[in-house]
């Protein structure tokens, strides 16, 4: 060993020693970038989650769970749902709204609250609302179809009649109730048009800037988003509502659930988003930890292609539905982490049908098969790879169904493939039995009843080759009913019919599980996939 190298080693040793010693006071760090949080860990909610789906924080672009969570807390909407309720639309930025029959259209007039300010300090006016909603249509990104296809509107359908009044003209084919539900969603988030216009480049409506900044009037604003690592939200000083208790929210990207569990137990995380039912069970009773659950609007279901023999026979489909051990799936495979729902509208939306008549009746199922003239049936069963909502492997679910059906003489060949691959087959109406899940695009029963009943919509009914024109027409009519009670009754009738005649077996509606530090209070999960950070304390 040469002595010439000694000084270099000494310098390296010194550097490591310096680095590992106690940090110097903040003023001496010399770092040109500001510290990321004002209040530090004590006043920041640390939220561990797999946010690999994060694409953009722009309300006109975000349509993924993680993006929705952030956008919801940074932007206000004209109307909103409160807490976990998805049946009663409440005032948001608008104090009142009124739907009028204007001959060729439904005209919805919104009167805006006065004195609302954006995080920038700019006042919120009708021009901001018009700019924001038109921006969604003009940008035409993932969630734009809610405006253009579901509500059927073009940019010129949205007008400001004065500084505090906005009128939206809907075509008569669209449901006013459905459109109001869409406006509660993040796509209806109102952006600060003055601020956003200063960041426009090449006609992008400021989308490049809003990708990782925010310009809303919500309780929090985006401080920074470090790709693949974290998003930090800071309380909006100009927020008009009740001031949030916590000055910041750190959404940290931690894909591995064991890591989330460790961090929660160590107290480094306040919330762990992606824990399995087994992990939640292990955490129960531990000091400093609380677990909670929230509803989701997903339905895990089985599609039965009605163009394939013998699935074209309604009795065969009913036999398959009847043979399934739903209770076993929920109790054993999902550890109780789901609701027994068999209708096509999830619990939580108006019009949900709580009737769940099927449960592993082998005798009845065999009789149904005999009635259809079938004794031995063999079918292909397409199953996605990975975890099903609720925390069970799709392959385990498939094996359970396979054994349930074996009891009535139905043999299925499980073919497991990636979701993308499965959807390619399913969309082309080429599946036989297909297991997959569905979540509504907006919190209204029409978002499920349409796809599940209307063959012409080329969605789920089409994929399963189920062309029932009567029920499709009933579904379209129900969407347009303005009387809430009549609408609910109409949807109950439709779901009851689909329950026994449709080509589906809805397996369950999963529950979302969360691990929390026990000092975290005010945590209320909204089934649309968000949570109001402003109501949380710790």
Partner 1 sequence: MRFLGFLLRRIVGIAAVMIGVSVITFAISHVIPADPAVAALGDHATDEQIAAFRSEYRLDRPLVEQYVTYAEGILHGDLGRSIRTRRAVIDDLVDSFPATLELSFTALLVSMLVGVPAGVWSAIYRGRPPDFVVRLLALAGGSIPVFWLGLIVIGLGYYQLGWFPGGGRIDAFVAPPPPRTGLYVIDSILAGDLNALRSSLLHLVLPALTLGYFSTAVITRMTRSSMLEVLGQDYMRTARAKGLRERVIVLRHALRNALIPTVTIIGLTFGSLLSGAVLTETIFSWPGLGRYATASAVSLDFPAVLGVTLLAAIVYPLANLVVDLAYYWLDPRIQRG
Smallest gap from residue 55 Cβ to partner 1 (A) = 6
Q: Is 278 in the site for partner 1 (CB under 8 A)?
A: no
Q: Is 413 in the site for partner 1 (CB under 8 A)?
A: no
Residues 492, 345: contact at Cβ < 8 Å?
no
Q: Which of 209, 405, 438, 466 binds partner 1 (CB under 8 A)?
A: 438
Smallest gap from residue 344 Cβ to partner 1 (A) = 15
Q: Is 423 in the site for partner 1 (CB under 8 A)?
A: yes
Q: Is 436 in the site for partner 1 (CB under 8 A)?
A: yes
Smallest gap from residue 31 Cβ to partner 1 (A) = 5
Q: Is 302 in the site for partner 1 (CB under 8 A)?
A: no
Of the candidate spans 13-21, 189-197, 306-314, 477-485, the one that interacts with partner 1 by CB under 8 A turns out to be: 13-21
Residues 525, 295: contact at Cβ < 8 Å?
yes
Find residue 338's DSSP bridge partners: 510
Q: Is 19 in the site for partner 1 (CB under 8 A)?
A: yes
Q: Is 388 in the site for partner 1 (CB under 8 A)?
A: no
Q: Is 258 in the site for partner 1 (CB under 8 A)?
A: yes
Q: Is 30 in the site for partner 1 (CB under 8 A)?
A: yes
Q: Is 266 in the site for partner 1 (CB under 8 A)?
A: yes
Q: Which CB atom, from 181 or from 322, has the smaller least distance to partner 1? A: 181
Residues 64, 339, 490, 108: what is their CA dihedral angle, to the nearest 10 degrees?
A: -30
Residues 359, 325: contact at Cβ < 8 Å?
yes
Smallest gap from residue 129 Cβ to partner 1 (A) = 26
Residue 393, burial from CB neighbour count under 10 angstroms (0-12, 13-18, 19+): middle
Q: Which of 62, 133, 176, 263 binds partner 1 (CB under 8 A)?
A: 263
Q: Which CB atom, from 108 or from 536, has the smaller least distance to partner 1? A: 536
**Phi, psi dihedrals of residue 437, rounded to the nearest 5°:** -130, 165
Q: Is 270 in the site for partner 1 (CB under 8 A)?
A: no
Residues 325, 358: contact at Cβ < 8 Å?
no
HSE (side-chain half, CA atoms, 13 Å) at 415: 12
Q: Which CB atom, from 256 or from 483, has the smaller least distance to partner 1? A: 256
Smallest gap from residue 276 Cβ to partner 1 (A) = 14
Cα four-point dihedral sign 73, 76, 82, 84: negative
Please give the residues from 187 up to 226 whose contact with partner 1 meets the rule CB under 8 A.
226
Q: Which CB atom, from 310 or from 439, has the smaller least distance to partner 1? A: 439
Token pair of 142 as six digits: 């993932």
Query: Of 188, 499, 485, 453, whose CA–CA distance to 350 is shortest?
Result: 485
Q: Which of 427, 469, 500, 521 binds partner 1 (CB under 8 A)?
A: 427
Token pair of 226 as six digits: 């470090």
Q: Is 255 in the site for partner 1 (CB under 8 A)?
A: yes
Q: Is 419 in the site for partner 1 (CB under 8 A)?
A: yes
Size of the site for partner 1 (CB under 8 A): 58
Q: DSSP letters of 90-115?
A: EESSEEEEEEEE-SSEEEEEEEEPSS
Smallest gap from residue 253 Cβ to partner 1 (A) = 6
Q: Which of 2, 3, 4, 20 binds partner 1 (CB under 8 A)?
A: 20
d(CA 252, CA 534): 18
Find residue 517's DSSP bridge partners: 289
Q: Which of 29, 173, 284, 403 binds partner 1 (CB under 8 A)?
A: 29
Pairing label, strands 433-438, 377-384: parallel
Binding characters for partner 1, 448-477, by CB under 8 A (x = yes): ---x------xx------------------
Q: Which of 84, 91, 145, 204 binds partner 1 (CB under 8 A)?
A: 145
Helix %, strand %, coil % of the chain (to 5): 35, 25, 40
Q: Which residues contact 101 (CB under 8 A, 6 or more apart)?
A: none
Of the candidate spans 31-39, 88-96, 284-292, 343-351, the one that interacts with partner 1 by CB under 8 A turns out to be: 31-39
Residues 148, 151, 156, 161: what is their CA dihedral angle, to the nearest 10 degrees?
A: -150
Smallest gap from residue 268 Cβ to partner 1 (A) = 7
**Phi, psi dihedrals of residue 499, rounded to the nearest 5°:** -50, -40
d(CA 173, CA 150): 10
Smallest gap from residue 232 Cβ to partner 1 (A) = 8
3-class SS of residue 511: strand
d(CA 448, CA 352): 10
Query: Tokens 């129960």 label which residue?
Result: 284
Residues 76, 79, 83, 85: what is their CA dihedral angle, to the nearest 10 degrees?
A: -150
Q: Which of 14, 16, 102, 237 binds partner 1 (CB under 8 A)?
A: 16
Smallest gap from residue 30 Cβ to partner 1 (A) = 5
Q: Which CB atom, from 194 or from 253, has the smaller least distance to partner 1? A: 253
Q: Is 259 in the site for partner 1 (CB under 8 A)?
A: yes
Going from the C-alpha of 425 to that of each of 11, 430, 497, the distances in angstroms are 63, 5, 27
Q: Which residues contact 187 (CB under 8 A, 6 or more apart)?
A: 59, 60, 63, 136, 143, 144, 146, 147
Please give the residues from 32 up to 61 whose contact with partner 1 meets the rule CB under 8 A.
32-37, 40-41, 46, 52, 55-56
Q: Which CB atom, from 149 or from 162, has the smaller least distance to partner 1? A: 149
Q: What is the binding site for partner 1 (CB under 8 A)?
A: 1, 15-16, 18-21, 23-24, 29-37, 40-41, 46, 52, 55-56, 145, 149, 226-230, 232, 250, 252-256, 258-259, 262-263, 265-266, 268, 418-421, 423-424, 427, 436, 438, 441, 451, 458-459
């Amino acid at each position: 060993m040469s002595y010439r190298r000694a000084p270099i080693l000494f310098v390296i040793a010194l550097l490591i020693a310096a680095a590992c010693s106690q940090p110097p006071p903040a003023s001496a760090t010399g770092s040109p970038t500001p510290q990321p949080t004002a209040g530090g860990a004590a006043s920041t909610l640390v939220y561990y989650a797999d946010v690999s789906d994060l694409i953009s924080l722009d309300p006109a672009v975000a349509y993924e769970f993680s993006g929705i969570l952030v956008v919801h807390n940074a932007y206000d909407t004209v109307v909103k749902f409160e807490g976990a309720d998805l049946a009663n639309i409440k005032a948001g930025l608008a104090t009142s709204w009124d739907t009028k029959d204007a001959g060729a259209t439904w005209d919805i007039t919104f009167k805006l609250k006065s004195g609302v300010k954006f995080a920038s300090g700019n006042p919120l006016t009708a021009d901001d609302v018009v700019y924001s909603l038109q921006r969604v249509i003009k940008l035409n990104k993932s969630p734009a179809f809610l405006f253009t296809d579901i509500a059927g509107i073009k940019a010129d359908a949205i007008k400001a009649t004065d500084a505090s009044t906005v009128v939206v003209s809907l075509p008569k084919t669209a449901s006013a109730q459905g459109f109001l539900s869409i406006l509660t969603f993040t796509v209806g988030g109102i952006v600060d048009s003055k601020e956003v216009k200063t960041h426009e480049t090449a006609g992008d409506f400021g989308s490049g800037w809003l990708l990782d900044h925010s310009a809303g009037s919500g309780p929090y604003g985006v401080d920074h988003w470090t790709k693949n690592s974290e998003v930090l939200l800071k309380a909006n000083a100009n927020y008009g509502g009740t001031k949030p208790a916590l000055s910041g929210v750190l959404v940290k990207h931690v894909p591995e659930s064991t890591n989330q569990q460790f961090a929660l137990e160590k107290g480094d995380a306040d919330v762990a988003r992606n824990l399995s039912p087994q992990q939640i069970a292990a955490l129960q009773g531990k000091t400093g930890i609380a677990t909670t659950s929230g509803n989701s609007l997903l339905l895990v279901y089985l599609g039965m292609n009605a163009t394939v023999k013998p699935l074209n026979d309604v009795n065969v489909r009913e036999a398959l539905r009847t043979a399934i051990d739903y209770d076993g799936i929920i109790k054993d495979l999902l550890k109780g982490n789901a609701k027994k729902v068999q209708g096509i509208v999830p619990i939580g939306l108006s019009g949900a049908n709580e009737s769940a008549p099927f449960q592993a009746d082998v005798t009845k199922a065999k009789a149904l098969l005999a009635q259809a003239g079938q004794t031995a049936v063999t079918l292909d069963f397409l199953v996605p790879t990975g975890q099903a909502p609720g925390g069970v492997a799709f392959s385990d679910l498939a094996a359970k169904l396979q054994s349930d059906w074996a009891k009535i003489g139905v043999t299925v060949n499980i073919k497991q493939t990636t979701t993308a691959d499965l959807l390619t087959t399913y969309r082309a109406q080429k599946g036989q039995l297909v297991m997959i899940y569905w979540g509504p695009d907006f919190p209204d029963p029409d978002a499920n009843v349409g796809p599940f009943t209307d063959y012409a919509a080329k969605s789920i009914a089409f994929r399963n080759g189920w062309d029932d024109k009567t029920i499709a027409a009933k579904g379209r009519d129900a969407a347009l009913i303005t009387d809430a009670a009549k609408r609910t009754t109409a949807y109950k009738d439709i779901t009851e019919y689909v329950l026994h005649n449709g080509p589906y077996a809805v397996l369950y509606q999963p529950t979302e599980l969360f691990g929390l530090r026990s000092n975290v209070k005010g945590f209320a999960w909204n089934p649309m996939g968000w949570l109001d950070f402003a109501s949380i304390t710790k």
